[in-house]
Structure 1
Amino acid sequence: MATIRRLPENLVNRIAAGEVVERPASALKELIENAVDSGATRIAVSIVEGGLTRIEVTDDGCGMSADEMALALERHATSKLPESLVGAEGAIERVATLGFRGEALPSIASVARLTLESRVRGAETGWKRVVDHGVVTEEGPAALPPGTRVRVENLFGKVPARRKFLRTPRSEYAACLDIVRRLAMARPDIAFSFEHGGRRILNLQAGESVENRVAQIIARELADNGVLLDFQRDSMRLTGVAGLPTYNRGVADHQYLFVNGRPVKDRLLTGAVRGAYADMLARDRHAVLALFLTLPVEDVDVNVHPAKTEVRFRDAPAVRGFLVSGLRQALATGDKRSAQEPSAEAMARWQSEPVRSDALRDEPSPVMRSIFQGRDWSGSSHSVRENKSDFAGLSSPTAAMPAMMANKPAGDWAAPQGRAEEATEAPDDLDEYPLGIARGQIANTYIVAEAADGLVIVDQHAAHERLVLERLKAGGASDKVAASQALLMPEVVELDELACDRLEDNAGKFAELGLTIERFGPAAMLVRAMPGSLKKADPQKLLQDIADDLAEHGEALLLGEKLDYVLATMACHGSVRAGRTLNVTEMNALLREMERTPRSGQCNHGRPTWVKLSMGDVEKLFGRH
């Protein structure tokens, strides 16, 4: 029989390091969290070769004495739990700091060369302690300002089995940058700087507003294409910045989620975000946002994994519902907005002067010939005279234009075609109409309107598609789409037991959407009814997809998305098509309804329904600004 014995301390530390320190970014995260918890107002981070060669974190926090430094390098020694809580029932559930386990420093020191220097504020000198892969090699006084400096070198240098699994320096650098971004975003009251190989990457000042800090880190365009959140429900609060649906990405790596100031990657929260944007984004597009959820510490468990990136909520459905409703309410405040500014590329094309071919330069267009009838154009009067029949019976050359364009095939003219409202004085109450007054239609697809502060161009089909969808929802069409259609013969769908458990737990919600299911043995579900709009769908595939959705996001979103897709299809077929001629009254009616309708700034697929060119931009195009 094998003998049970205690493992040596250095081996215990390396086992713990396997959970805490997976890569340089993991070590960097722990060091920055310690700096934040120390009360620092400025944190400087420097790495070399993606952190494989060196990681250094310097802060101006409270610092440590020599005895505290020695204790900090022992396992499960921490200052994060107040003495009044140590040993108390439920103490670990009431932790308010980022760190609390007391594993990070000894774990890092067991797989790297760790240099720890610190000075308590008010002390004449600091102290230095060096640990090389678990062995103390140097100790003594150190000269440094108040605060702490930690240097990690040669990570996994003496653990080749772990070292070979690390990625390239470029990949490790990207992971380190992501860590710094997330932690800096959570604390705009702290100044952060980040260098890689001597090159300054980030330099963030303390005391910034959340929206400014988020915009600097994610993308500066987010400030103009996002809405601020600040919602309270009971003891929960949601703040942050949510990008408009028209400002989206192809991947979800620009979604930053925080719980009580802690960066997390939680399936419940990502599922809630996806649900909130469900009918405003295409399935393969993702929102850009930074959300900060604050709730009592006893209502969230952060002690799920040593990496502390996963959390567990005491009342998960309430958290999800709060997040979805808060996001939707915030996006409703931006419902008259879209990604309005034209792109720099589009503006550059406006500003570039077109180059005309020699043929066009020598030969005027027929419309221009009508204006200059009877005059010699570039020495060629014959070309004008041969078109005199076009002007027969007309009182003026200018009046000839509509007749000419009506009688000639469209391909005969190089001039673009459009219709414009007679130029009249703008109404005095133009400010009351954010989308302006219709002035014309281009290519029977785009409405051009004059607003008080610029020029608005509206995609008539995309805009009306959103209006029809919102009208269908308001009229109860979503309930009719989800109406249950009983199957003549109930169908048995075989799935694995865990998938059946997930489906059974959510059977009540599915029934509200028209899908009636019940458990049929350990590894099967019985489908009794399908949503009326999905009655031709394959029950086996539908349930499998929904079960996968539950496993990935912790919430059944797929069925709702499928029903929303049916509504969106109905809206698409019931809306004004591109290519349809609208009169001025119809155009203005469309603009006024857009101003009254929620989320009219984007179509059902997340594309903008309108863009605006400010008067300042128009003046720049003509060199008047």
Structure 2
Amino acid sequence: MGKIRVLAEDVANKIAAGEVIERPASVVKELVENSIDAGASKIEIKVKNGGKDWIQVIDNGEGMSPDDAKLSFERHATSKVERANDLFALRTLGFRGEALPSIASISRVNLTTRTEESLSGIKLRLVGGEIEKEESCGAPIGTNIIIKDLFFNTPVRYKYLKQISTEIGHISDIVNRLALSYPEIAFYLEHNGRKILETTGNGNLLDVIFNIYGRQVAKEMVKVDYSDNYMEIKGYVSKPTVTRSSRKHQSYFVNGRYVKSNLMGKAVQEAYHTLLTVHRQPIVVLNLKLNPILVDVNVHPTKLEAKFSRSEMVYGLVQEGVTKAIKSSDLVPKLKLDKKQQQSRDNYTQNELVLAVDKKYRSKKKDKSSQLESKVENKNFNYRANHPQKAKKSKELRAKKIEKLFKVDEDKLATAKIESIKENKVENNIKETAQDYKPEDNNAKKDKEIEDKRVELNLVPIGQIHQTYIIAQGLDGMHIIDQHAAHERVRYEELMAEFKSGEIKTQELLIPLNLDLTYQEVEILNQDKDKIEKLGFILESFGGNSYIVRGVPTGLYNLNDEELIRDCIDKLLEEGELGEAYELVEDILIMISCKTAIKAGDKLSIREMNKLIDEMERYGVTNCPHGRPVMMQLSKKELEKEFKRT
């Protein structure tokens, strides 16, 4: 007997399921796409325990007849493709006829459906792909399908599912993309009885963006609407002032189908060109409409890839459309004044200033006897009565003095504030205080060890070049130190040591930051909040998809930068879950050390240079965390050679 045999139907279905159904989110994607293809205007998705136990999709589409309902669970049975040529002009999201049989082969399924022409509907119950029960029933027009116990007969696949927060995060991400692609459809997503997303289905894409990303992002989006003879691009992109550290907030659609397109991503990047800072990405929601014959989505079973027959035209259209949209918008950032401070300042009128000074003056004289006060008051009254002109002049002079006392030179104040912040930043970052060098300090022994090492290496700072490079004299010649790279490495070593010992210090913010996150991010934060707090953040749920940041690692406090905090959270969430990955923590600490290190252009005193060199010697610094060299040497022999002294 030969070795080659035809696989049994159940084995073939499970193999197909391995290609199509990777996780619960894959089930949601296939079922919701079927509802969209059925012409539904309202789709409800209800999930329990991340989709592992229960997934229910209810739509008001056209439904199925009893015969079609039973046939839909057969492999390669579909209503969307009739002949091979149809594959070159696909206008539906589904077309393979593999989704339902693949899902049914690894779960327990209950299906209820009815068409408008039928007086009654049909209810089917399947286990492992086999129909166990079939009956007529009353039902609304549309389809209601329930998937229970996913991967119940393939325990190996079930074992590799992630924690609940990760799985519901993927489901939320899929439904968000579909809602952005079809704003005319009302979507409702619920997890364990809690509403995650609800859209109105009014056709306004900006409303969907608001529901997913929040008000702040929606207000800063720019509309894109551009076309040529063959295709058109529509959607929204964010202004350069609203960015993220990764491209996971970019959604590209081709004829309503969500795809991962590097081509469109590069075109958008080119459109922004010099408008974005390094390693920043805009938020993007773009739908490319073109003749289906010009695109092939039959590349991968997940249908997330697309190949264009005229890729140059697609690139040019997207790039030009986004460029024109950005240029036509107002890109000047709007500053928001602190209303409480402004109101307090405006209300502090001149009369109140006079009263405040007068009150202060009187309080100092409180210990005087009432008799003396009466005498002084009578004397002043008599003086004012007998010399009215002088009294008036004296009053005006006093008013001017008070005005001068409280008058603020705005330019001088701003300059002084900048200098103070810069000085404090350098001082705090290098951690240098007068007490550091006192022999009675508790850290005297540690400082002595550092000092001994520095003397042994004999590095003595001389000064700075361009306020970026420290010039130091060593045992043999001159050393040039990149102050930012050196301090970045020092900060990284300090933070890593603090993290390993669980002693990363946190500084509470005077004004907490409000972050609007996606549900995927919120779920992961809820699951791994303790791990994030171990990195020095204090986060508090603020209802819905909002979080309040009440504290940050001490090094980030002076920066008080919402963008930086978002970057840290994005980095934590990049893999979908935190876990205990050392590399992930390392990336965060490198980011924090880079942002909190002294910068090129910061002026340092000789004492500050000495302190930095001490820390370099203590940690054996040779390269920054990114691998760049920290220090270069020009030997005495080379110097003498260049000056022809040898």
Residues 194 and 201 in structure 1, CA contact (< 8 A), matched pair in contact too: yes
TM, length-normalised to structure 2:
0.56
Match of 2:72 in 1: 72
- Taking structure 1 as reference, are residues 141 and 246 closer, same or farther at Cα in structure 2, changes over 3 Å only? same
Q: Give 1:118 shift.
A: 0.7
Amino acid at match of 1:77: A
1:142 equivalenced with 2:137 (yes/no): yes
Q: Give 1:214 shift.
A: 2.3
- Taking structure 1 as reference, are residues 101 and 201 closer, same or farther at Cα in structure 2, changes over 3 Å only? same
From 207, 223, 237, give the equivalent of 2:218: 223
Q: What per-residue deviation string (whole Å, max 9, x for no partner) do you get for residues 490-532 of structure 1?
A: xxxxxxxxxxxxxxxxxxxxxxxxxxxxxxxxxxxxxxxxxxx
Q: Give 1:228 shift.
A: 0.8
From 263, 266, 272, give the equivalent of 1:277: 272
From 293, 317, 320, give the equivalent of 1:322: 317
Match of 2:596 in 1: none
Instruction: Please give the residue correspondences for 1:98-247 in structure 2 after superposition, counting only pairs within 5 Å.
Output: 98-247=93-242
Partner-residue secondary structure (3-state), 1:95: coil
Residues 370 and 400 in structure 1, CA contact (< 8 A), matched pair in contact too: no
Match of 1:511 in 2: none
From 267, 283, 288, give the equivalent of 2:283: 288
Q: What per-residue deviation string (whole Å, max 9, x for no partner) do you get for residues 150-206 of structure 1?
A: 110100011011001110111100111111111111111111111111112222122
From 83, 88, 91, give the equivalent of 1:87: 83
Residues 151 and 157 in structure 2, CA contact (< 8 A), matched pair in contact too: yes
Residues 34 and 94 in structure 2, CA contact (< 8 A), matched pair in contact too: yes
Give me the whole-angstrom Cα distance separating, in 2, the residues matched to 1:259 and 1:351: 50
TM, length-normalised to structure 1:
0.57
Give me the whole-angstrom Cα distance separating, in 1, the residues matched to 2:41 and 2:335: 37
Q: Give 1:419 shift.
A: 4.8
Amino acid at match of 2:11: L
1:301 equivalenced with 2:292 (yes/no): no
Give me the whole-angstrom Cα distance separating, in 2, the residues matched to 1:351 and 1:244: 30
Give me the whole-angstrom Cα distance separating, in 2, the residues matched to 1:166 and 1:347: 49
Q: Give 1:401 shift.
A: 8.6
Q: Give 1:219 shift.
A: 2.2
Give me the whole-angstrom Cα distance separating, in 1, the residues matched to 2:13 and 2:407: 77
Give me the whole-angstrom Cα distance separating, in 1, the residues matched to 2:117 and 2:340: 58
Q: Give 1:337 shift.
A: 3.4
Instruction: Please give the residue correspondences for 1:401-480 in structure 2 after superposition, counting only pairs within 5 Å.
Output: 416-419=408-411, 442-443=414-415
Amino acid at match of 2:116: R
Amino acid at match of 1:139: E
Give me the whole-angstrom Cα distance separating, in 2, the residues matched to 1:128 and 1:8: 27
Q: Give 1:274 shift.
A: 2.2
Q: What per-residue deviation string (whole Å, max 9, x for no partner) do you get for residues 5-41 of structure 1?
A: 1111111111111111000000100000000000111
Instruction: Please give the residue correspondences for 1:12-91 in structure 2 after superposition, counting only pairs within 5 Å.
Output: 12-81=12-81, 86-88=82-84, 90-91=85-86
Residues 113 and 121 in structure 2, CA contact (< 8 A), matched pair in contact too: yes
Amino acid at match of 2:199: L
Give me the whole-angstrom Cα distance separating, in 1, the residues matched to 2:324 and 2:417: 31
- Taking structure 1 as reference, are residues 416 and 148 closer, same or farther at Cα in structure 2, changes over 3 Å only? same
- Taking structure 1 as reference, are residues 415 and 172 closer, same or farther at Cα in structure 2, changes over 3 Å only? farther
- Taking structure 1 as reference, are residues 400 and 376 closer, same or farther at Cα in structure 2, changes over 3 Å only? closer
Q: What per-residue deviation string (whole Å, max 9, x for no partner) do you get for residues 196-242 of structure 1?
A: 11112222122231222222222222332111111112211111111
Match of 1:359 in 2: none
Amino acid at match of 2:326: L
Farther off after superposition, 23-32 or 107-116: 107-116
Amino acid at match of 2:53: T
Q: Could you list the runs of 5+ residues in structure 1 that have no partner in the other structure? A: 357-363, 382-394, 405-412, 421-440, 447-576, 579-625
Q: What per-residue deviation string (whole Å, max 9, x for no partner) do you get for residues 115-143 of structure 1?
A: 12110113111011122112221111122
Residues 226 and 244 in structure 1, CA contact (< 8 A), matched pair in contact too: yes
Amino acid at match of 2:140: P
- Taking structure 1 as reference, are residues 233 and 53 closer, same or farther at Cα in structure 2, changes over 3 Å only? same
Q: Give 1:266 shift.
A: 1.5
Partner-residue secondary structure (3-state), 2:216: helix
- Taking structure 1 as reference, are residues 284 and 117 closer, same or farther at Cα in structure 2, changes over 3 Å only? same
Instruction: Please give the residue correspondences for 1:445-594 in structure 2 after superposition, counting only pairs within 5 Å.
Output: none
Partner-residue secondary structure (3-state), 2:63: coil
Partner-residue secondary structure (3-state), 1:279: helix
Match of 2:562 in 1: none
Amino acid at match of 1:87: R
1:256 equivalenced with 2:248 (yes/no): no
From 306, 315, 340, give the equivalent of 1:311: 306
Give me the whole-angstrom Cα distance separating, in 1, the residues matched to 2:365 and 2:249: 62
Give me the whole-angstrom Cα distance separating, in 2, the residues matched to 1:305 and 1:158: 25
Q: Give 1:350 shift.
A: 5.4
Give me the whole-angstrom Cα distance separating, in 2, the residues matched to 1:208 and 1:444: 52
1:9 equivalenced with 2:9 (yes/no): yes
Give me the whole-angstrom Cα distance separating, in 2, the residues matched to 1:134 and 1:245: 50
Give me the whole-angstrom Cα distance separating, in 2, the residues matched to 1:131 and 1:257: 36
Q: What per-residue deviation string (whole Å, max 9, x for no partner) do you get for residues 254-310 of structure 1?
A: 211111111111221222222222312222222112111111111111101111111
Partner-residue secondary structure (3-state), 2:224: strand
Partner-residue secondary structure (3-state), 1:141: strand
Count matched residues.
Answer: 392
Amino acid at match of 2:336: P
Match of 1:567 in 2: none
Q: What per-residue deviation string (whole Å, max 9, x for no partner) do you get for residues 461-488 of structure 1?
A: xxxxxxxxxxxxxxxxxxxxxxxxxxxx
Residues 197 and 211 in structure 2, CA contact (< 8 A), matched pair in contact too: no
- Taking structure 1 as reference, are residues 397 and 79 closer, same or farther at Cα in structure 2, changes over 3 Å only? same
Give me the whole-angstrom Cα distance separating, in 2, the residues matched to 1:266 and 1:315: 14
Q: Give 1:44 shift.
A: 0.9
Q: CA RMSD in A?
A: 3.6
Q: Between the two proteins, what is the percent identity of the paired residues?
A: 36
- Taking structure 1 as reference, are residues 138 and 287 closer, same or farther at Cα in structure 2, changes over 3 Å only? same
Match of 1:589 in 2: none
If you compute each CA radius of gyration, which structure gives the higher value, 1 or 2?
2
Give me the whole-angstrom Cα distance separating, in 2, the residues matched to 1:37 and 1:217: 23
Give me the whole-angstrom Cα distance separating, in 2, the residues matched to 1:203 and 1:372: 58
Partner-residue secondary structure (3-state), 2:131: strand
Give me the whole-angstrom Cα distance separating, in 2, the residues matched to 1:75 and 1:209: 37
- Taking structure 1 as reference, are residues 165 and 260 closer, same or farther at Cα in structure 2, changes over 3 Å only? same
Q: What per-residue deviation string (whole Å, max 9, x for no partner) do you get for residues 38-85 of structure 1?
A: 01111111000111100000111111111101111111111112xxxx
Residues 55 and 151 in structure 1, CA contact (< 8 A), matched pair in contact too: yes
Residues 225 and 338 in structure 1, CA contact (< 8 A), matched pair in contact too: no
Give me the whole-angstrom Cα distance separating, in 1, the residues matched to 2:340 and 2:93: 47
Give me the whole-angstrom Cα distance separating, in 2, the residues matched to 1:27 and 1:371: 70
Partner-residue secondary structure (3-state), 1:278: helix
The structure with the largest helix share of the pair is 2
